[in-house]
């Protein structure tokens, strides 16, 4: 078995791993990066995302940033324990330090550090701006790097390529286990390279930044349930995320954090090979399942704030599929094509029966569904596709809360939709230095988690914060790893 010695071993080469590795290298550390993908596919999910950041300017996060996290902090935790979050961490009881809830101090740190991380990325030539979205309107403020996540991967990747003496990347190498010494201190990572060749990477600090488990059907079935068979990663990068980082940390005694039974869900066209082929126009029509029946409120609010819940409902339907159905009225919505990222044409017909046949749904049930919906649509009121307009159905179950207009004018169109998995929520607890917290509420010396390995979200994703979270926690981990290295020299 071959072995390599480094100051810091980073598992994963997405935004979290790259940020951790470069930050540590800039602090004087010698760094190894283990990356499962080949070099031309490095970057995990980051490579394929548009990488929006929930910010109102380059200097500040959105006004609703901390409130949105606070509103979705994790189930119904014991208030007798949670009230003690007002104490400094060192004075909190161990049961609170290990509790699986969103840590307000960590959220405050991310809010404070996000502008610094953005400015740091601009030093590598990345430019940020308020870029076009696939939403016609939005409920918060978002910025993004010009060129998306790929621009981040290429900028940081070019930097490490030019500094191979300080940062060495081992491609097509998957991490398997953490290595401990006789005192229980983490001293490295066991991995496997091409041909199932075992390799050991020694390092006094390990940063787990290998993403979630969206590419692991066994873990998805275990945590999410049998419907996970109908869910696939939203992008090619997600297939490389198989959960080893989460498993290794839990095996080391890490406290779990984040919603293991859920994930960031997006509605996509299952026929498409495009990157992130979302279908986000459905609120202007109706959604039917493979029996031709409606099953949810298609427009409970702004699409950017509600599509995740709708996606999970699609997953729960038979065969995990639905169809977004429209008539010619869709063309009344200015610029609606930006909401569909699939280049595969919709199913189309000149009659509703013809559309039912194209969708392969029960014709009689589908016609009855459309008729009942049409009868329930309001006969007055102004249609406003850019904000909730209150045009709701009456006497129909389930209700459609906004943008309810009859479907009767040909041509009729439909897009098939499935629920895709952008990333999983279940991970491990970290503190504001990205140190992994064990089940006793203490930091595990030398072990860090960044990006998706660090559990942060419950039920609903706080949009436009994932890549931001990865960059910030990666930099926190890299900074602390260097401090620890210097202190132990």
Torsion angle of alpha carbons 440, 446, 452, 457, nearest 10°?
Answer: 30
Q: How far apart are CA 102 and CA 108, in angstroms?
A: 11
For residue 404, give the nearest of 300, 295, 249, 275 by alpha carbon. Answer: 300
**Is there a contact between 373 and 365 (Cβ–Cβ < 8 Å)?**
no
Sequence-distant (≥ 6) Cβ neighbours of residue 364 within 8 angstroms = none
Buried b (16+ CB within 10 A) or exposed e, 14-35: bbbbbbbbbbbbbbebbbbbbb
Q: How far is CA 488 from the centre of its chain?
A: 36
CA atoms within 13 A on the CB side of 278: 22
Question: Which residue bears the tokens 């064990």?
Answer: 438
Determine the pLDDT at residue 3. 59
Determine the pLDDT at residue 275. 87
Positive or negative, the CA dihedral 270, 271, 273, 279 is negative
Sequence-distant (≥ 6) Cβ neighbours of residue 433 within 8 angstroms = 443, 476, 477, 479, 480
Determine the pLDDT at residue 475. 98
DSSP letters for 87-152: S-GGGS-HHHHT-SS--HHHHHHHHHHHHHHHHHHHTTT--EE----SSSS-SS--BEETTHHHHH
**What secondary structure letter does DSSP report for 287?**
E
Question: Which residue bears the tokens 């039974």?
Answer: 261
| Distances from the Cα of 305 to the Cα of 138, 203, 310, angstroms | 8, 42, 10
pLDDT single digits (tens) 178-215 = 999 988 889 999 999 999 999 999 999 999 999 999 99
Phi, psi of 421 (to 5 degrees): -110, 105
For residue 238, give the nearest of 275, 206, 270, 280 by alpha carbon. Answer: 275
For residue 46, give the nearest of 451, 426, 427 by alpha carbon. Answer: 451
Determine the pLDDT at residue 1. 45
Q: How far apart are CA 90 and CA 441, in angstroms?
A: 10
Q: Quote the radius of gyration of the chain (alpha carbons, Å).
A: 24
DSSP letters for 204-255: EEEEE----STT-HHHHHHHT-GGGGG-EESSGGGGG--SHHHHHHHHTTBP
Determine the pLDDT at residue 374. 98
Looking only at the bridges linking them, the beta strands covering 186-193 and 197-208 are antiparallel
Q: Which CATH superfamily is domain 2-262+425-488 in?
A: FAD/NAD(P)-binding domain (3.50.50.60)
Burial grade of 356 (CB within 10 A; 0-12, 13-18, 19 or more): buried
Q: How far apart are CA 405 and CA 388, in angstroms?
A: 13
Buried b (16+ CB within 10 A) or exposed e, 281-293: bbbbbbbbbbebb
Torsion angle of alpha carbons 232, 234, 239, 244, nearest 10°?
Answer: -90
H or E, element range at 470: helix 466-488
**Quick one: fold of 267-420?**
Flavocytochrome C3; Chain A, domain 1 (3.90.700)
Q: How far apart are CA 221 and CA 455, in angstroms?
A: 18
How confident is the prediction along the chain (489 residues), in pLDDT tens digits per residue? 455 899 999 999 999 999 999 999 999 999 999 999 999 999 999 999 989 999 999 999 999 999 989 888 788 889 999 899 889 888 899 999 999 988 899 999 999 999 999 999 999 999 999 987 777 777 788 999 999 999 999 999 999 999 888 999 999 999 999 999 988 889 999 999 999 999 999 999 999 999 999 999 999 999 999 999 999 999 999 999 999 999 999 999 999 999 999 999 999 999 999 989 999 999 999 999 999 999 999 999 999 889 999 999 999 999 999 999 999 999 999 999 999 999 999 999 999 999 999 999 999 999 999 999 999 999 999 999 999 999 999 999 999 999 999 999 999 999 999 999 999 999 999 999 999 999 999 999 999 999 999 999 998 899 999 999 999 999 999 999 999 999 877
pLDDT single digits (tens) 307-363 = 999 999 999 999 999 999 999 999 999 999 999 999 999 999 999 999 999 999 999
H or E, element range at 486: helix 466-488
Determine the pLDDT at residue 133. 77
Question: Which residue bears the tokens 């429209």?
Answer: 326
Provide the residue ranges of all domains of the chain, joining segments of one domain with +.
2-262+425-488, 267-420
| Distances from the Cα of 114 to the Cα of 119, 227, 373, angstroms | 9, 35, 46
**Is there a contact between 34 and 189 (Cβ–Cβ < 8 Å)?**
yes
**Is there a contact between 244 and 449 (Cβ–Cβ < 8 Å)?**
no
């Amino acid at each position: 078995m071959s072995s390599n010695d480094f100051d810091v071993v980073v598992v994963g080469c997405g935004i979290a791993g790259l940020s951790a590795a470069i930050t540590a290298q800039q602090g004087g550390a010698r760094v190894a990066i283990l990356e499962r993908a080949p070099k031309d596919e490095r970057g995990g999910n980051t490579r394929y995302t548009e990488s929006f950041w929930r910010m109102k300017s380059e200097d500040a996060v959105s006004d609703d940033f901390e409130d949105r996290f606070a509103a979705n902090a994790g189930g119904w935790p014991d208030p007798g324990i949670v009230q003690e979050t007002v104490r400094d961490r060192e004075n909190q009881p161990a049961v609170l330090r290990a509790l699986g809830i969103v840590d307000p101090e960590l959220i405050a740190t991310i809010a404070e550090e996000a502008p610094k991380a953005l400015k740091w990325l601009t030093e590598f030539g990345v430019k940020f701006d308020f870029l076009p979205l696939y939403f016609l309107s939005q409920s918060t403020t978002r910025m993004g790097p010009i060129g998306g996540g790929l621009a981040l991967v290429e900028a940081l990747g070019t930097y490490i390529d030019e500094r191979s003496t300080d940062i060495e990347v081992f491609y097509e190498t998957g991490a398997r286990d953490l290595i401990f010494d006789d005192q229980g201190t983490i001293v490295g990572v066991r991995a496997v390279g091409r041909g199932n060749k075992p390799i050991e990477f020694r390092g006094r600090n390990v940063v787990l930044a290998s993403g979630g488990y969206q590419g692991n059907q066994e873990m998805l079935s275990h945590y999410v349930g049998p419907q996970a068979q109908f869910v696939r990663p939203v992008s090619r990068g997600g297939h490389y995320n198989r959960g080893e980082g989460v498993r290794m940390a839990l095996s080391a005694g890490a406290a779990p954090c984040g919603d293991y039974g859920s994930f960031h869900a997006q509605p996509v066209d299952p026929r498409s090979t495009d990157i992130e082929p979302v279908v986000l126009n459905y609120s202007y029509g109706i959604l039917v399942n493979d029996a031709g029946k409606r099953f949810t409120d298609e427009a409970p609010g702004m699409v950017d704030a509600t599509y995740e819940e709708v996606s999970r409902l699609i997953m729960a339907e038979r065969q995990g599929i639905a169809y977004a159905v429209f008539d010619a009225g869709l063309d009344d919505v200015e610029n609606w094509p930006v909401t569909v990222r699939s280049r595969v044409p919709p199913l189309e017909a000149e009659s509703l029966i013809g559309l039912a046949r194209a969708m392969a749904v029960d014709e009689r049930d589908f016609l009855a569904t459309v008729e009942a919906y049409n009868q329930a649509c309001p006969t007055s009121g102004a249609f406003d596709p850019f904000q909730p307009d209150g045009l709701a159905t009456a006497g129909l179950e389930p209700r459609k809360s906004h943008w309810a207009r009859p479907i009767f004018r040909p041509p009729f169109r439909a897009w098939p939709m499935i629920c895709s998995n952008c990333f999983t929520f279940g991970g491990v607890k970290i503190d504001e230095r990205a140190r992994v917290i064990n089940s006793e509420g203490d930091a595990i010396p030398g072990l860090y988690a960044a990006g998706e390995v660090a559990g942060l979200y419950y039920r609903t994703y706080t949009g436009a914060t994932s890549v931001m979270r990865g960059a910030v926690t990666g930099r926190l981990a890299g900074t602390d790893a260097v401090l620890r290295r210097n202190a132990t020299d």
